[in-house]
Amino acid sequence: MTTEIMSSSIPLKLRVLHVLRLILGKIARFFFSFYYGSGGEKIPPITDDILKQPAIEVARRIRNKETSSVEVLEACIRRIKDVNSVLNCFVEDRFELAMKEAREADELVRSGTNTVQQIEREKPFLGVPFTTKDCIAVKGLHHTAGVVLRKDVIADEDADSIRHLRDKGAIIIGLTNVPELCMWWETHNHIHGRTNNPYNTTRIVGGSSGGEGCIQAAAGSIFGVGSDIGGSIRMPAFFNGIYGHKPSRGVVSNGGQYPMPESELQNSFLGVGPMTRHAVDLNPLLKIMSGENSSKLNLDTPVDISKIKIFYQFSNNAPLADDVDTDIVETMKAIIGFFSAKHNVTAKEINIGILKKSLAIWFATMKTKTTFGTFIMKKDTPGQICWEIVKNIFGLSGNTLIGLFTALFDYGGVKVGGERHKHFLKVRDDLEAHFKEMLGDDGVFLYPTHPTAAPYHNEPLFKAMNFSYTSIINCLGMPATNIPIGLGKEGLPLGFQVIANHNNDRLCLAVAEEVNRYFGGWVEPQKS
């Protein structure tokens, strides 16, 4: 362990900025709590039991004629119509085509052409409805990524991950909402508007897979597909109390994602993965989504929980980020105590000081020669961006305020190929090497997904750097799963993430299933 890995000093200027930001954040929290009040609008309870079942159980019932694909799809459509006027998570449907595919699935089951065992082997998710976010291509549907300039773009083929799932019988029923260009952790754009948290509609759903996290929490589809370049699966999963898995780098194809990463390094940060209400669905869905790369993950190899080594850290102590809520720390302590009592596994607390620089590493290594504004504006210059910011204040811009600030920010920072850029690439490589050595083939790292439960709408503007807990894991290319653990003192979901070494996704998924088994996971929103 090098000194640089284990410790990292924070310059005085950043410490002062950190204190000022904390003060500003507390003032903003007081204002938002006064403005929004308590819980916002309520959503109806779930009345169709099938929507509460794991995807693998829904698939089993369909192929065994205990229910039909048409019935399941109708339940999803009813639920979407019941909740979407309040949540605004679902943005485009293909209900008519999905119904045709559901009837075909039911006919295949009724025909007896294939045995139940053949269907389970060849089309394990036959007739199961699912959704995905509006930046992952679905043939015939819009492919906007929340960018007004792309509001008329229609995908001409499925993304690779969607195609793999459809090949195994799953039925795509529509798209869910995202932030502009999928580069912010509140879901809002000027095509479809803002998405509300099902546990408290005054709170955010996260981003960029925020609409997907929301619809899963509200039980509007049986499972979902998200993508993650800085926490875009795990943060929405955390805020919405569901499971979300970012796979190991390069395992699930990014083909059909918009925007596609410009560099191979950036591409290695992006992962497409499953989002579900039930931990048991993650493994079989990942097996399908990873296609021919599935063999690298050894997902069928049993995991002996009692032989897993557990490491943990409660905070990264990063400047400009919030302290981790007591609720979250206590949740993690309960999990650590459980593994000790149940499996005789003694977890080891560590302190990787360089995690203080998580965002500096992420911003530097995400940097490319193409600026962010190029994707969201017709003319990308600092002057034009400033003019759009003025227009935005008066409600006259097609861009979101955070999108414009991000575009302006992109003109600063490190220069690609410069000394500081090379420095942070080296720091990233050293940190990855340290994690690989620490975790080996039998270790996992427990770490907060986010330092706070879901903030109020627009509150992320005052705590922008809180995504440091997820973004650094993208830099390392390691698999990570958000694990929900009930609700906290505000009635909002809590949880944490578990990280493993490259291609050891099965360890993350096994821990998720074990925690789910004894602690529960997803909790129905606003259940009286």
Q: Residue 242 in contact with residue 277, Cβ under 8 Å?
A: yes
Q: What is the DSSP string of 2-62?
A: -HHHH-----HHHHHHHHHHHHHHHHHHHHHHHHH-S-----PPP--GGGGS-HHHHHHHH
Q: Give the active site residue among 69, 161, 208, 397.
A: 208
Q: Residue 205 in contact with residue 214, Cβ under 8 Å?
A: yes
Print burial letters for 456-484: b (CB count within 10 Å at least 16), e (below 16): bbbbbebbbbbbbbbbbbbbbbbbbbbbb
Q: Residue 208 in contact with residue 420, Cβ under 8 Å?
A: no
Q: Taking each helix axis from N to C terminus, what angle separates 326-343 and 505-519, rounded to the nearest 10 degrees?
A: 90
For the chain, helix (H) and strand (E) counts, in that order, are 19, 13
State the pairing for strand pair 129-133/223-228: parallel
Torsions phi, psi of 383, nearest 5?
-65, -40
Q: What is the DSSP string of 227-289?
A: EESSSTTHHHHHHTT-EEEEPPTTSS--TTBSSPPSSHHHHHH-EEEEEESSGGGHHHHHHHH
Q: Residue 128 in contact with residue 62, Cβ under 8 Å?
A: yes
Annotated active-site residue 85? The verdict is no
Closest CA to 233 of 270, 259, 201: 270
Write the single-letter amino acid at 346. T
Q: What is the DSSP string of 119-188?
A: HHHH-TTTT-EEEEETTB--TTSB--TT-GGGTT-B-SS--HHHHHHHHTT-EEEEEE---GGG-SSS-E
Annotated active-site residue 133? The verdict is yes
State the pairing for strand pair 493-500/480-487: antiparallel
Q: Give the active site residue among 161, 221, 232, 471.
A: 232
Q: Taking each helix axis from N to C terminus, what angle separates 69-87 and 55-63, rounded to the nearest 10 degrees?
A: 150
Structure tokens at 169: 């019988």
Cα–Cα distance measured from residue 472 to residue 491, given in angstroms and rounded to the nearest whole number: 28
Q: Give the active site residue among 8, 69, 123, 133.
A: 133
Cα–Cα distance measured from residue 22 to residue 328, given in angstroms and rounded to the nearest whole number: 19
Helix (H) or strand (E) holding 445: strand 443-447
Structure tokens at 163: 């195609």
Write the single-letter amino acid at 349. E
Which residues form the catalytic set?
133, 208, 232
